[in-house]
Structure formats: C-alpha cells, structure tokens
Amino acid sequence: MALGLSLALGLGAVSAQAGEAEKIAFDVELKGITAGQLKINATRDGKAYSAAGVLETTGLVGMMRKIRYTATVVGTKNTRFVPAKYTETADTPKRESVFEMLYEAGRPVKVSQTPERKPKEFDVAIEDQAGTLDPLSALYAVLREVDRDEACKFSAQMFDGARRTQVKLFEPKAEGKRVICAGEYRRLGGFHPKDMAEKTSMAFTLTYEPTADNRLRVIEIATETIYGNGRLKRR
C-alpha cells in the first residue's frame, strides 16, 4: 500500500462517534479511463481505530497489468492517529510480498518483509520516524468524512518502511455547497536520487460535498501525474 498511496494520490482531520463505521470506495482514473479501484473499510470505537484497504487495477488495465495491494492497520486516535500495527500484501508483476510494521507509542520499531527486502543506501532510518503514519492510516485520514470546520486541515508525514513522504491539505475554498482544498504530496527521503531529481512533489485538488447530516465527504481528488491526468472519483 506504500506504492498504493503514491498511485492513489498521484491520480490522489479526524472526528467520529464511538462505534462509527465508514466504507470508502473510489474509482481510480488515468487519462479519463478507469484503471483501478480503492476501497477502505474503517471503524472507530472510543480511542481505537482499525482499517482494511484494497487498491487494485481493474478493466483493461487490470487485464494488461495486474496490481493488487491489501493492507490493514490498528491503532488509537485522540488528537491524532497513532498506529500500532500495519500489514500489507503486494501482488504485482514484479513481486509478491508480505510486509509488517510494528509501533511503540507512535514510533515504528520493527519492519519485516517476506521475501526479505535488501536495504538500499538511500533508505531512511527507522529510528528517525517517530510520529509518522503508515500509508493506510494516512489514506483513511484524507478520505474519511469530516466536520465542516475540519475541511482542508490535515497534514501528516508517512513512513513505508524505507521512504518518508508528506501529504497535506490547505486553502479551503467554498464553491456552492462544496469545499475545494489544495493539496500536496511530497517525497522527503528514501527515494533513488534520480527520482528525487525528476520530481519531489505533486499538487492535487480535493473536493468535498455535504452529507445528509451536514458533514463533508470527499468525492474527488484530481492531479497531474507522470502517467497523465489522474482522478480518484467516489463510487
């Protein structure tokens, strides 16, 4: 789901009642063609939260290139998300792997992957990643329903076991009943120097619309990616 987050933001804050469950589903579009689906099922119960997510290619793109990421996370939320355990399964043309990251008091302390991943010289150090989110918690935080006064106020840094990135929302603008946010996804460290030289950030726009109980839910994220214009569109 680490690459999944990049794809979702490249195409692609918290209040809830105890026991709240939320189902999130988006189509992933590239150049106007549906290329995949993103689904997240999340629950909040008191200070505890959990989420399960799937990102996969579909349609003609799925027939030509099968990519599927599944992930789960459990943790707590008071003023911010604090993950405790994150797991991810990747099934792509290049690899099939299972990844796990464990946390203590919001600090990642153990990363494991099967088959084992060979460290790279530009990986960021795990001991420097206190306060970062896992990719699924970050996706959930960006895409979930929020109260109107929380719109466009999210910012977090993420760690996927080797790379550190940042996503933030800002500059809310009302358009009728909708709210439009500016957004940025930025590479901070752990990427190949050639990738950092090519591009370190991607700007995007996020659109909320009101729900029946006057909260806001994300209906679209749009951006220009290295693959062309991309969108996440709510199903």
Termini Cα distance of the chain: 20
User: Which pLDDT value is given to residue 162?
Assistant: 97
Task: Count CB-CB contacts under 10 A for residue 109.
Answer: 13
User: Which pLDDT value is given to residue 94?
Assistant: 87
Domain ranges, residue 193: 2-234
**pLDDT tens-digit profile of 71-99?**
999 999 988 999 999 999 999 998 899 99
User: Which pLDDT value is given to residue 19?
Assistant: 60
User: Which pLDDT value is given to residue 61?
Assistant: 78
Helix (H) or strand (E) holding 196: helix 193-198
Our count of domains for the chain comes to 1
User: Which pLDDT value is given to residue 225?
Assistant: 74
CA 105 to chain CA mean position, Å? 21
User: Which pLDDT value is given to residue 95?
Assistant: 87
User: Which pLDDT value is given to residue 52?
Assistant: 97
**pLDDT tens-digit profile of 109-132?**
999 999 999 999 999 999 999 999
Task: Give pLDDT < 70 ranges for the chain.
Answer: 1-19, 226-227
CA 72 to chain CA mean position, Å? 12
